[in-house]
Every structure is written in C-alpha cells, then in structure tokens.
Structure 1
C-alpha cells in the first residue's frame, strides 16, 4: 500500500493550513479509468498532491484514474471521493513545485 499525501482530496472541511497550497483553476483536461474512452473533464481545483474535477460519470474508487493536463505528461491518480458533482483525487506522485506554480500562474482564476 502506498502513501498518498492528504491535500485537495479531503472534503471541503479540511484544516486551513493544508489548503494553503491549493489553487482554484479552470481548465479542460482528459481523464479515463481502465480501458474506458478518454473523457473531457473540467479541472476546478489543484494542489501539488491532488485535484478536484467536475463530475465524472461512473467513476470508481477502486480503479486508478489517468489524467492528461495540457502541457504535462500523463499522470496517474487515485479517486478518493465523489459527491455533489465533484470528484477528488490524489496524484500517485505529487507535482514538482515548479510545475504546480506554472499551472497555477497560467490557469488560475
């Protein structure tokens, strides 16, 4: 079992200090689970350790999620929660700080 840092994937009631690295973004990306087709999804929230996307039909917490964020290589994440038209995920490997800062600058709202 691997360790995943707890950042953006916690429900909105999480401690403010953990939320400090999270930024609101609005950008389209592509996601898929298993051999399902790629689907467009709106990335709404990003942290070095995870992200939140708008609702994804038939999302499963037991399957890894693949995400293609424009300008980045293919990333792997695990689904931590889904509710109220949102899906929270943790990256298998946290984003490098420079990558996170670049996305935050270019896609932040």
Structure 2
C-alpha cells in the first residue's frame, strides 16, 4: 500500500468523518483526460474509497462526479491495487452528502 505523507496536513484538513459503505457508480477523470466510469465503495463528507483500474498515485489530483452533480476535486491519499482512498478538496455539503447516500440505497 502506498500512502501520501499526511504530516503536512493541518488538523482541519485531516479526514475525521466516519465513512459509510455504499456502492455508487461515478465518473472519474485525471486532469486533462476524459471522464470514465468507476465505483465508490465507501463515502463520508470528507472522502471516499474508489475502485478503478486507472493508474492513480498518492498526491494526485482527480475529479469525481456523482450522478446529478458537477465534478468535485479530490486528492488521492493512498492506493492499493485497484483501490484508492481519496479526500475531497472541500467537504461535501451535508445536504449533498445525505442526498447521495439516500439515492445510493435504492
């Protein structure tokens, strides 16, 4: 498993919210590339676990798009095989998070 060094993150940047298990199809892209399909298997207001066969590295900026919403910037924090732990640049608004969680359970 490869991690990004989080010692440079300020306490307010560190992920603190509990993640909830989901299975959500998302669109993903790396800067300068086109969108492709991936999956999110857990989600919190501050981050998510991504399953994708695209080459990702800790520290890389990506964009993730949930159905019905614009793309959101996130940073890859760790990778292990086809999984990556990612942190949103800015936490999801509570209403957006709750909506995504509600529609993902149907």
> For the superposition of Structure 1 and Structure 2, which TM-score range results when normalised by the shorter chain?
0.7 to 0.9
Partners of 1:84 and 1:62 in 2: CA distance: 16
1:75 aligns to 2:84 (yes or no) = no
Partners of 2:54 and 2:82 within 8 A in 1 = no
- Flag as ranges the 4+ runs of structure 1 deviating above 2 A: 1-5, 60-63
Deviation per residue, 1:14-36 (Å, 9 max, x gap): xxxx52xx211112111111212
Aligned length: 97
TM-score (norm 2): 0.79
Structure 2: runs of 5 or more not aligned: 1-7
Partners of 1:30 and 1:95 in 2: CA distance: 17
Report the counterpart of residue 53 of structure 1 in structure 2: 50
Report the counterpart of residue 88 of structure 1 in structure 2: 85
Partners of 2:59 and 2:77 within 8 A in 1 = no
TM-score (norm 1): 0.77
RMSD over equivalenced CA pairs, Å: 2.0
